[in-house]
Amino acid sequence: MAASGKAGDGVLAPHAVPAGGQFDLTGRRVVVTGAARGIGRAAAEAFARHGAELVLADVLEAELEETAREIARGGRGAHPLRLDVRSDDDVRALVETVAALGGVDVVVNAAGIVHRALATEARIEDLDRLWEVNVRGLYAVTQALLPQLIARGGGKIINVGSLGSVLGLERRAAYAATKGAVRQYTQSMAVDLGQHGICVNAIAPGYVETRMTADWLTADGDRRRRLLERIPSGRFGLPSDMEGAFVFLAAPASDYVTGQIIVVDGGWSCC
């Protein structure tokens, strides 16, 4: 749960440190959408290493099953469930599955898609497709699971934004519009849900090497060099570079952190 009990007049009782430490997730059930590959999978594996039980959701069934098997080999519970976040029926099935397991403590919205085009070439259909997954899908999953978080007395919601949540991006005006919406949704939800002991934050990854970004980062040698020259860390990120931020935001260590967008980009946004 996100908050300690009140001591009176808005002053909280001293924060209780879990027996396993501030980053211990033992006994917590975490739902991760987009868990089959990339950043979502890395987050799920990190949560499992810190003791969490996982409900893994993705439309990529074969890869999702492999992710679940890998986590189960480490001795943690991992329940795979096919989920297309655009499908109201799939979202209802997710809610029923999680309720049958006993409820949820942490919701991680990592499902997302990208589209790249010059603003002069973009189509309204591109925005519609991006919006359905990146905004409506995230909203649908969160709203559907919210009653369970409230019933359990609090929890964490972690959304995945992007550099497009905080900066303009080349050839991604429509994509950035959806990720900007994720930022505003995150911060507005934090205001509404604090009274329920729920922390709402987002992670904004920079240029991370995944299957979804491979063509953009590697196909054009000049672009690759130009991008790398701007990153103070001198390299693109890996999904594993996101793990620390996810665990922090899911764990008791961040119980007084809400409404924040944590940028994990190797320093790109500083330049």
Domain CATH code at residue 119: 3.40.50.720
- The answer as to whether 75 is a domain residue is yes
State pTM to two decimals. 0.93
Let me know the angle formed at the C-alpha of 214 by 212 and 215, rounded to the nearest 5 degrees: 100
Domain membership flag for residue 14: no
Residue at 116 is within a domain:
yes
Supply the range of the domain harboring residue 169: 24-264
Contact 22, 253 (CB under 8 A): yes
User: What is the rounded CA–CA span in Å between residue 247 and residue 135?
Assistant: 23
pLDDT of residue 121: 93
49 CB contacts (<8 Å, ≥6 apart)? 74
What type of residue sits at position 267? G
Is the four-CA dihedral 24, 97, 86, 143 of positive or negative sign?
A: negative
Strands (E), 95-172: 106-109, 155-160
For residues 8 and 21, give the distance between their C-alpha atoms in angstroms, rounded to a whole number.
26
**Of 262, 212, 203, 207, the residue nearest 231 (C-alpha):** 207
10 within a domain of the structure (yes/no): no
Tell whether 187 is covered by a domain.
yes
CB 108 within 8 A of CB 40: yes
d(CA 256, CA 263): 18
What's the pLDDT at 9? 58
Low-confidence ranges of the chain (pLDDT < 70): 1-17
Q: Of residues 175, 185, 207, 256, which has the active-site annotation?
A: 175
At 30, which helix (H) or strand (E)?
strand 29-33
Residue 122 phi, psi (nearest 5): -70, 150
In a domain, residue 223? The reply is: yes
User: Which SS3 state, helix, strand or coil, does residue 50 take?
Assistant: coil
Residue 54: name the closest of 62, 258, 46, 249 by CA: 46
- Tell me if 83 sits within 8 A of 145, measured CB to CB: no
* Domain total of the chain: 1
Contact between residue 217 and residue 270 where contact means Cβ atoms under 8 Å apart? no
Does residue 175 have an active-site annotation? yes
